[in-house]
Amino acid sequence: MLHRVAHRGYSTVAPENTLPAFAAALRAGATFVEFDIRVTRDGVPVVIHDRTVNRTTSGAGRVWDLTAEEIAVLDAGSWFGPGFAGLRVPTLAETLDLLAAGPAELLVEIKPPATLDEVKTIVAQLAERDLLGRSVIQSFDTDVIRKVRDIAPEVRRGLLLFRFDAETVQLSRELGVAYCNPDLADVLSGPETMAGLAEAGVGVMPWTPNDMAQWGPLVDAGVAGLITDHVGELTGWSTAPAAAPAAIL
């Protein structure tokens, strides 16, 4: 089965990394919901992509310089559209409470910097809701992946990459990851690395193919899933009868 991964939730129909985007992803048939975690100055994990709150909220400043209370009062929806005015940056706890009730797995990206205690807090919140078995914890930062491995070795891990390189397969083996998730261009241009990862039992879910014309070639290249902003469309495409994809494209 091709995993349908909702990138920051269903982020073309609701503001990225918000509860409405995650709810929409579940309704749209996502098999994984992907989201980003950063930790506030007072140690509260919140769900936001950027280092700063500037782009997606009414505030300004780096996430780790702000308290959870300061972030909680920001408007995280108006930038997307007036219908989402007043929406808040969700805490990790709020996000997990919503997703725990749905069928989808969780693709949890921990953004650096992240201390050992912060990673422990994130893993503990997953464990409290019995979500460790439904989660893949990923990062671009290999130190974060190693922390996750040390804290909860049973949890599936993912290595995010900007580019495949000569060390990709070896590094994936060393880290013991279940997934190696690069930019989509590397999947299409790196058949040798794709073959090496397949031999190592590592799945590949590239980011972020939003052009439907790319989906067929990526599937042909051997991906395990697609991390896309258009998860509803991907559900329709991937579940259509075998004869239909050409017509859909």
Q: 48: left (phi > 0), else alpha (psi -120 to 50), else beta?
A: beta
| Catalytic annotation, residues | 7, 49
Number of residues assigned to the chain: 249
Q: How many CB atoms lie within 10 A of CB 79?
A: 16
Question: In a 3-state reduction of DSSP, which class is residue 214?
Answer: helix
Instruction: Name the residue among 171, 208, 201, 167 with its Cα closest to residue 187.
Output: 208
Query: Which segments of 1-154 does DSSP mark as H helices, in order?
Result: 19-27, 68-72, 92-100, 116-128, 142-151
- Write the CA distances from 239 to 29, 203, 231, 244, integer angstroms: 10, 20, 12, 9
Residues 119 and 110 sit within 8 Å (Cβ to Cβ): yes
Q: What is the DSSP letter of 183?
A: B
The backbone torsions φ and ψ at residue 125, rounded to the nearest 5 degrees and listed phi first, read: -65, -35
